[in-house]
Amino acid sequence: MSLHVLLRHRFPSIRMDVEFEVRTPGVTALFGPSGSGKSTIINAAAGLLRPDECRIVIDGQVLGDTASGIWLPPERRRLGLVFQESRLFPHMSVATNLRFGLRRAGKGPIRFEEIVELLGIGALLARRPHTLSGGERQRVAIGRALLAQPHLLLMDEPLASLDAARKAEIMPYLTRLKTALALPILYVTHAFDEVAQLADSIVLLDSGRLVACGPLSDIAARGDLPLAQRDDAGALLLCRVVEHDAPRELTRLEGGGATLWVPLLDRTLGTDVRVRIPAREVILAGKAPEAISLHNVVPGEVRRIAGDPARRSVLVEIVLAEAALISRVTPDAIVRLGLAPGRPVLALIKSTSIEVIGT
């Protein structure tokens, strides 16, 4: 199952020409600077904007195809759209807002009680939208979109208007939602922390063009993409909790062919977690060091060395069995270690610098 998007449109200031295909279900992040065309893709998918040339197919169902003249109006697309400003109907209670799409959608697998429980909005049902906080309002908006029984959920910077605290309040609901409902989600954001927590795939955009597209763990470990030029550049591994060592206060994670020890986690064995390893925290070595505080020595092979002249550093991609890491080092380090694509290398990672995000 997949989501296929082709979009060409000429705006007064920018030309959009994007085509990508991602697997469904799962969260696909549309990521890029302002004006890169993220919201245009969302609006075209929702049917609110009709581009010059466009083809959007979700799981085999054609929503719009300008070549063959098919263009379903938004009200017949069965999509959920969550806007940045929640856009709740001010003259209706929370419950009526939630039921708005549900009443019009007919039968579907998503039940009212389930959504209310999942988003924790049971106590708000009788209230009016203007009495809710920003975070509550956005949760209700997400619930309303989901209850319309969508085939695809579109989220256009749903957290952008919230402060850090409200964002942190909503995030767990989003991750729960993602695992509870097997629904394709197209998620627009310009905050990478949201991508790291939620996304399975990522579509990188810049001024109306596609930069890269693929599984997040692949794209995050690429040294030649704009993502690697960021301060928070780093690889993302999907790991499983396999061992707790209570006396030593450590937890062992396995994922992508690597074994990682991190400070003791409060997770049951067997659960999946997301782990982010910042590029600037990965040390490279030719042979294993001795008498050192380090727990994690991960053997791999250099795949690519990409320059980052602005920071006078280079980014080294290291492939493991089923994943990749990325490390930011000085050009001098490359020379001293004699690193080149294809050479074996050891990645040294401090336990305390591994960020466990949790899926």
What are the C-alpha distances in Å from 28 to residues 3, 19, 171, 317, 327?
10, 14, 16, 23, 25
Report residue 73: phi and psi, to 5°. -70, 155
- Other Cβ atoms closer than 10 A to 81: 24
Q: Which stretch binds other proteins (CB under 8 A): 123-131, 256-264, 291-299, 345-353?
A: 123-131
> Quick one: CA dihedral 189, 194, 198, 201, positive or negative?
positive
Beta carbon of residue 335, minimum distance to other proteins (angstroms, whole number):
56
User: Which burial class, exposed, middle or buried, applies to 296 when counting CB atoms under 10 A from its CB (0-12, 13-18, 19+)?
Assistant: buried
130 binds other proteins (CB under 8 A): yes
Task: Give the integer Cα–Cα distance in Å for 185 and 154.
Answer: 6
Beta carbon of residue 69, minimum distance to other proteins (angstroms, whole number):
21
Q: Which is nearer to other proteins, 55 or 77 (CB)?
A: 77
Q: Which is nearer to other proteins, 85 or 206 (CB)?
A: 85
- Report the site for other proteins in 72-91 (rule: CB under 8 A): 73-81, 83, 85, 87, 89-91
Beta carbon of residue 313, minimum distance to other proteins (angstroms, whole number):
45
With b for 16 or more beta-carbon neighbours within 10 A and e for fewer, the 69-78 pattern comes to eeebeeeebb
Q: Which of 148, 155, 233, 323 binds other proteins (CB under 8 A)?
A: 148
x/- string (CB under 8 A) for other proteins, residues 36-75?
A: ----------x-x------------------------xxx
Q: Which is nearer to other proteins, 75 or 290 (CB)?
A: 75
Beta carbon of residue 131, minimum distance to other proteins (angstroms, whole number):
8
Beta strands in 37-117 (DSSP E): 53-58, 61-65, 70-71, 79-82
- The helix (run of H) or strand (run of E) holding residue 78 is none
- Binding residues (CB under 8 A) for other proteins: these are 46, 48, 73-81, 83, 85, 87, 89-91, 100-101, 104-105, 128-131, 144-145, 148
